[in-house]
Amino acid sequence: MDAAAAKLIGAGLATLGMIGAGIGVGNIFGSFLTGALRNPSAAASQIGNLFVGAALAEALGILAFVLGILIYSA
């Protein structure tokens, strides 16, 4: 295979790690909604935790994205 083509495929494969981040962030917001609809009075106090959790889960997907960009532009 051509090296340039292999590089592009590799960059694409590297960004697949964002699937995990998508599942994680969706899970966090879904769980938050489930809990918030059961007890709406407690929901407001957990907004901070919600965003921190989403940010932490998202960071790992961003790592994969950055890796993809690095391979693409290397």
Partner 1 sequence: MADPLHQFKIEKIIDLPDVTLPGLGQVDLAITNSHVAMTVAFAAIVLFLTAVTSKAQIVPGRLQVVGEGVFGLIDNLTDSIIGHEGRKLFPFVFTIFTLILGMNFLGLMLAFTATSQIAVTATFGVLTIGLVLIIGFAKHGLGFFKLFVPSGVPWVLLPVIVLIEFASFLLRPVTLTLRLFGNMMGGHVALKVFAGFVAAAVIGQIGLLGIPVGILSIGMVTALTALEFLVAFLQAFVFAVLTCIYLNDVVNLGHGH
Residues that bind partner 1 (rule: CB under 8 A) add up to a total of 13
Question: At its nearest, how many Å lie between partner 1 and the CB of residue 62?
Answer: 3
Scanning 1-74, the segments in alpha helix (DSSP H) are: 3-14, 18-38, 40-43, 47-73
Q: Which residues between 32 and 71 bind partner 1 (CB under 8 A)?
A: 48, 51-52, 55-56, 58-59, 62-63, 65-66, 69
Instruction: Choose between 35 and 72: whose C-beta lies nearer to partner 1.
Output: 72
Instruction: For residue 54, give every residue at least 6 positions away whose Cβ sits within 8 Å of its Cβ, in sequence order, or none.
Output: 25, 28, 29
Based on the shown chain and the rule CB under 8 A, indicate whether residue 29 belongs to the binding site for partner 1. no
**Rounded to whole angstroms, how far apart are CA atoms 49 and 55?**
10
